[in-house]
């Protein structure tokens, strides 16, 4: 990387920029690039540095294909030839990194052909990892790369405990020793990331790669956030990370309003500026989540689990005649055509070759929503072959 673009570090918490040297040269400035998960990477660059160099360095560091990311400043796309000077950037300004919506071949129609730079590397492919909330992360890897490496990077980027996620390709669980070649993956293929369903006691967590590791200073610890239904989500964070960041990430994943949720540790309510270090949390500790009683006069009813407002998001399962099942998280107002199209895409089926039915036998149409069909959280939609010819 050119000396014009020097990465300062990635912010898991705190503010590394507070250590910026006051004697920095007048011709340089510090900028940060923030992704959709609120992770920040800092660069010190010159006013005339072309942003293409910065973006190349960022994508290389994040193991992202260059043509799968677009960069925005104040809502406007930044071009590779732009400079801080031409965009009137000031010290400390932020650039957003947004993952492109990519087509089936894994390439962006408007982006330069990155593969043309290294035509001899025919064994390199682009894959995407999609979570249950439709969030996507893109990776460019070799055909013989062990996928365990990709999953380690993914979980670290998403602040997830490695043993809390399972990865599926075409419905089958992927092993860490599998490779794109061994699974016959093609460029643009998708891997599903599914959160493990963990029971009440966290004995399953003993499979963690480093159960004995004691964090020191900037090391990470694993914590779990458990709701009233005993469903758990795992986060890997630094001891100095403000709990507010965990709250936001949790509520975003669960489709909850952060004002409608309380987070408790050892029975005490967690404040936004608390940190694992300030609350003396240890690796594997649990944060309890309770839905707030909003609008009523009694808050105790919620903590006793007596009353639960309808969740903003719900789970819908789709299962075909072969037993292949996919779970989708969606809003009650989501048009179900999105789920049906996604299922058909994963099963390589044409949408007009199958029919979808609710638990009470009603056929799902392209304009239906969970709300219009009175579907409940956890309901199952069954998939049947379309009757060809004289049948129904």
For residue range 157-183, what is the model confidence (pLDDT) as tens digits? 887 888 888 898 877 889 999 999 888
Residue 388: its pLDDT value, please? 58
What 3-state class would DSSP assign to 251?
A: helix
User: What does the block give as tokens for 185?
Assistant: 């993956």
137: pLDDT strictly greater than 80: yes
Residue 294: its pLDDT value, please? 41
93: pLDDT strictly greater than 80: yes
Average pLDDT over residues 279-295: 80
Residue 380: its pLDDT value, please? 93
Sorting pLDDT into bands at 50, 70 and 90, what band is 114?
A: very low
Residue 24: its pLDDT value, please? 52
User: What does the block give as tokens for 67?
Assistant: 């043509």
What pTM did the predictor assign?
A: 0.30
Residue 33: its pLDDT value, please? 93
Residue 119: its pLDDT value, please? 36
318: pLDDT strictly greater than 50: yes
Instruction: Give φ, ψ of 222 to 5 degrees.
Output: -100, 130
Highest mean pLDDT among 179-193, 294-308, 375-389: 179-193
Sorting pLDDT into bands at 50, 70 and 90, what band is 6?
A: low
Sorting pLDDT into bands at 50, 70 and 90, what band is 2?
A: very low
359: pLDDT strictly greater than 80: yes
User: Of 391, 392, 380, whose CA–CA distance to 321 is shortest?
Assistant: 380
Q: Which residues contact 163 (CB under 8 A, 6 or more apart)?
A: 196, 204, 205, 207, 208, 209, 234
Alpha helices in 144-292 (DSSP H): 147-157, 243-254
Characterize 141-158 residue by residue with b for buried, 16 or more Cβ atoms within 10 angstroms of its Cβ, and e for exposed: bebebbbbebbebbbebb
CB 97: neighbour CB atoms within 10 A? 21
Residue 197: its pLDDT value, please? 54
Residue 347: its pLDDT value, please? 80
Highest mean pLDDT among 42-51, 226-235, 248-257, 338-347: 42-51
E strand or H helix at 319, and its extent? Answer: strand 313-319
Average pLDDT over residues 53-71: 87
Cα 141 from Cα 127, distance rounded (Å): 8
CB 293: neighbour CB atoms within 10 A? 18
E strand or H helix at 58, and its extent? Answer: helix 51-62
Query: Do 378 and 325 meet the contact criterion of CB atoms below 8 Å apart?
Result: no
Query: Do 174 and 243 meet the contact criterion of CB atoms below 8 Å apart?
Result: no
Residue 287: its pLDDT value, please? 93
Sorting pLDDT into bands at 50, 70 and 90, what band is 263?
A: very high
- Name the burial class of residue 33, with classes exposed (0-12), middle (13-18) and buried (19+) by CB atoms within 10 angstroms of its CB: buried
């Amino acid at each position: 990387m050119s000396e014009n673009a020097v990465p300062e570090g990635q912010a898991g918490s705190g503010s590394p920029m507070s250590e910026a040297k006051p004697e920095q040269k007048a011709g340089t400035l510090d900028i940060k690039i923030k992704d959709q998960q609120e992770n920040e990477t800092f660069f010190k660059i010159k006013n005339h540095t072309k942003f293409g160099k910065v973006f190349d360095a960022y994508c290389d560091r994040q193991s992202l294909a260059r043509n799968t990311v677009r960069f925005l400043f104040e809502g406007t796309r930044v071009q590779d030839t732009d400079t801080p000077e031409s965009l009137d950037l000031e010290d400390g300004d932020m650039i957003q990194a947004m993952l492109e919506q990519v087509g089936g071949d894994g390439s962006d129609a408007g982006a330069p052909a990155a593969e043309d730079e290294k035509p001899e590397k025919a064994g390199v492919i682009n894959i995407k990892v999609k979570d249950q909330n439709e969030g996507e992360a893109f990776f460019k890897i070799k055909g013989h790369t062990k996928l365990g490496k990709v999953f380690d990077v993914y979980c670290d980027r998403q602040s997830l405990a490695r043993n809390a996620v399972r990865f599926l390709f075409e419905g089958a669980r992927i092993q860490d020793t599998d490779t794109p070649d061994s699974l016959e993956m093609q460029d643009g293929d998708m891997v599903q990331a599914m959160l493990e369903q963990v029971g009440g006691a966290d004995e399953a967590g003993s499979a963690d790669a480093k159960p004995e590791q004691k964090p020191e200073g900037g090391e990470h610890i694993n914590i779990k956030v458990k709701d009233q239904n005993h469903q758990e989500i795992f986060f890997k964070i630094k001891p100095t990370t403000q709990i507010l960041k965990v709250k936001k990430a949790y509520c975003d994943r669960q489709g909850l309003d952060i004002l409608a949720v309380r987070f408790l540790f050892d029975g005490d309510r967690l404040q936004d500026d608390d940190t694992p270090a300030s609350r003396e949390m240890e690796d594997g500790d649990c944060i309890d989540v309770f839905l707030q009683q909003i609008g009523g006069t009694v808050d105790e009813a919620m903590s006793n689990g007596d009353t639960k407002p309808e969740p903003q998001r719900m789970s819908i399962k789709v299962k075909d005649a072969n037993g292949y099942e996919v779970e989708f998280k969606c809003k009650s107002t989501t048009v179900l055509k999105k789920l049906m199209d996604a299922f058909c895409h994963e099963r390589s089926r044409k949408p007009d070759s199958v029919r979808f039915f609710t638990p009470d036998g009603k056929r799902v149409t392209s304009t239906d929503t969970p709300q219009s069909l009175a579907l409940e959280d956890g309901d199952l939609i069954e998939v049947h072959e379309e009757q060809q010819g004289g049948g129904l």
